[in-house]
Structure 1
Amino acid sequence: MSTPQPADLAPGTSAPLTRLRLDLSYDGTGFHGWATQPGQRTVQGELEQALSRIARIPVQVTVAGRTDAGVHARGQVCHLDLPGPVLATIPGRSDRAPADALVTRLVGLLPEDVVVHAAREVPAAFDARFGALRRRYRYRISDSPARHDPLRRDVLRHRWELDVEAMARASQALLGEHDFLSFCKPREGATTIRALEQLEWERPGPGRADESLVVATVVADAFCHHMVRSLVGTLLPVGEGRKGEDWPAQVLAARTRQSSTRTTTGAAPLCPPQGLTLDHVEYPADADLADQARAARVLRG
């Protein structure tokens, strides 16, 4: 979807478009990922269906980060464009602002595993995908039967106890700007160079959120397909003691999509999706939105 300018009009009408930002969360367990796919239940499919029913016109959304099947989100962001007259009908007979009324109406149409927390009008230069400065993911692991909570569906149950300190040390070599080809499923014509700002591991103590779990916090300007799950998948054997702390650096340097052999280091292993959550997406100030979106489009090819 192109970034509209303030004078852009709804197709086939003389009505100007208004851009809305939605902040949402979802439990990814029952979804075949974010992106719409024929015959599959997806987050985008459910959201666009609900929005189209409210607006009474087809609605498409652009998302900050497409999540895989089984991956969750607490801080997902997307945007959509609606003609002014359509937006004005959303409150009905109430005196609520259209964006506030949209959130309330979505409660009655969306399934229980998707929640839109907030909606607001944003400048036309806002782009949920290309305008983001950075994304933060968290991956949660339960590595002991004593810590397993059957009520949590956002945690990976792991069979072996992990050495969190070794994983943290091994992660340091992955920080900074690199070609993460060994950790990504590349998209034709796009770069696999990313700037990894943070890859930290901890086991929160008593009284803290996620007490006794193993939690990875991963922050970058952007991620390519499968990158976070591959980063975690590469660190797990280190935590188990099956690989040395220098192994993630070897995987990075290999820059390959080929599998490992007895004599060569191959692409990173992929960990399961259920422990992964998109936690937060950060955007610049409104005055810098257009510049950030232009720069990101050039950088991503």
Structure 2
Amino acid sequence: MSDEVRAGCTRVRLDVSYDGAGFSGWARQAGRRTVQEEIEEALRVVTRSGERRLELTVAGRTDAGVHARGQVAHVDLPTEVWAEQGEGRLVRRLAGRLPHDVRVWRAEAAPPHFNARFSAIWRRYAYRVSDHPGGVDPLLRGHVLWHNWPLDVAAMNEASAGLLGEHDFAAFCRRREGATTIRALRDLRWERRPDGVVEGTVRADAFCHNMVRSLVGALLFVGDGHRAPDWPARVLAARVRDSAVHVVRPHGLTLEEVAYPADDALAARNAQARRLRTPAGAEA
């Protein structure tokens, strides 16, 4: 995951989308179908790379069943291969090789120091829920969760406001050895669309495992009246898992956008992102 590109290679940024229903997440797993493996295999074939694996680095390693509209990855290709393929030709060739539930929309030479993961300044997800008593529109069922209680969007927004800022989100994350649960939550808001679907927007510098789906689970409990609007903030402050916080199903979640700084700020952003975060006032 180096910021430095090997001599003789060109770093290529790929903009990707996929329907997560048929995948066991982004990351390669033995014996399971993953987005990473599908794209890497397609790249290997269309670039005629033989048995050599062209490894992707991704902005966000989505879980099984989670969708993406604005995923970003990078791959280091031999410069002569990139010169032969070019942006348009590589995209067209991948379209002919990839399965229909994953697409590469753009391929372009990345600027110096670009790293799809560490250069990102924020990721934006959307979670979509229907509280219609009849259920979810059959044409949307793979992307919208059905919640069998009426939702109060104003109460959900009131509760969401208490979660904004940089905090230790341990109460809403699945802990991983050696990984921090401190995150800067920049945006968390809900609106009811004209079609009645309740859509949540969640934006942060990064997310820990199950964080978005746990936050949504807590806020749905507020929206349907089972908990008061101050309850999610109290759970957050306790920094321990609450059995009432449910991790909602993945199919309502979509990675919508990943943002990057100006090219001349990439190296500084990479260094910042690699630093271990600590709570405000704590020792590093």
Aligned to 2:210: 226
Compared CA separation, residues 227 and 66, structure 1 to 2 (3 A): same
Deviation at 1:245, TM superposition (A): 1.1
Q: Secondary structure at the match of 1:108?
A: helix
Deviation at 1:41, TM superposition (A): 0.7
Matched, 1:253 2:237: yes
Deviation at 1:123, TM superposition (A): 1.8
Residue number among 131, 135, 141 corresponding to 1:143 in the alignment: 131
Q: Which runs of 5+ in 1 are unaligned?
A: 10-15, 91-97, 206-210, 261-265
Deviation at 1:300, TM superposition (A): 5.5
Segment drifting more, 235-244 vs 140-149: 140-149
Aligned to 2:4: 4
Aligned to 1:28: 20
Segment drifting more, 291-300 vs 66-75: 291-300
Identity %: 58
Aligned-pair Cα RMSD in Å: 1.5
1: CA distance, partners of 2:164 / 2:275: 22
Report the count of equivalent residues: 274
1: CA distance, partners of 2:133 / 2:60: 33
CA contact (8 A) 1:59 1:80 kept: yes
Aligned to 1:117: 105
Q: Deviations over 1:91-132 (max 9, x none)?
A: xxxxxxx12111000001100000111111012300100100
1: CA distance, partners of 2:277 / 2:256: 22
CA contact (8 A) 2:94 2:104 kept: yes
Matched, 1:76 2:71: yes
CA contact (8 A) 2:184 2:204 kept: yes
Q: Secondary structure at the match of 1:166?
A: helix
Residues 92-111 of structure 1 correspond to what in structure 2 (within 5 A)?
Answer: 98-111=86-99
Deviation at 1:28, TM superposition (A): 0.5
Paired letter, 1:214:
V
**TM-score, length of structure 2 as denominator length:** 0.93
Q: Deviations over 1:114-155 (max 9, x none)?
A: 011111101230010010011100000011145621112111
Paired letter, 2:3:
T
Shift >4 Å, 4+ stretches: none
CA contact (8 A) 2:121 2:261 kept: yes
Paired letter, 1:124:
P
Q: Which runs of 5+ in 2 are unaligned?
A: 279-284
Aligned to 1:208: none
Q: Secondary structure at the match of 2:139?
A: coil
Aligned to 2:267: 290
Q: Secondary structure at the match of 2:97?
A: coil
2: CA distance, partners of 1:158 / 1:65: 27
CA contact (8 A) 2:120 2:260 kept: yes
CA contact (8 A) 2:15 2:70 kept: yes
Q: Secondary structure at the match of 1:144?
A: coil
1: CA distance, partners of 2:197 / 2:208: 26
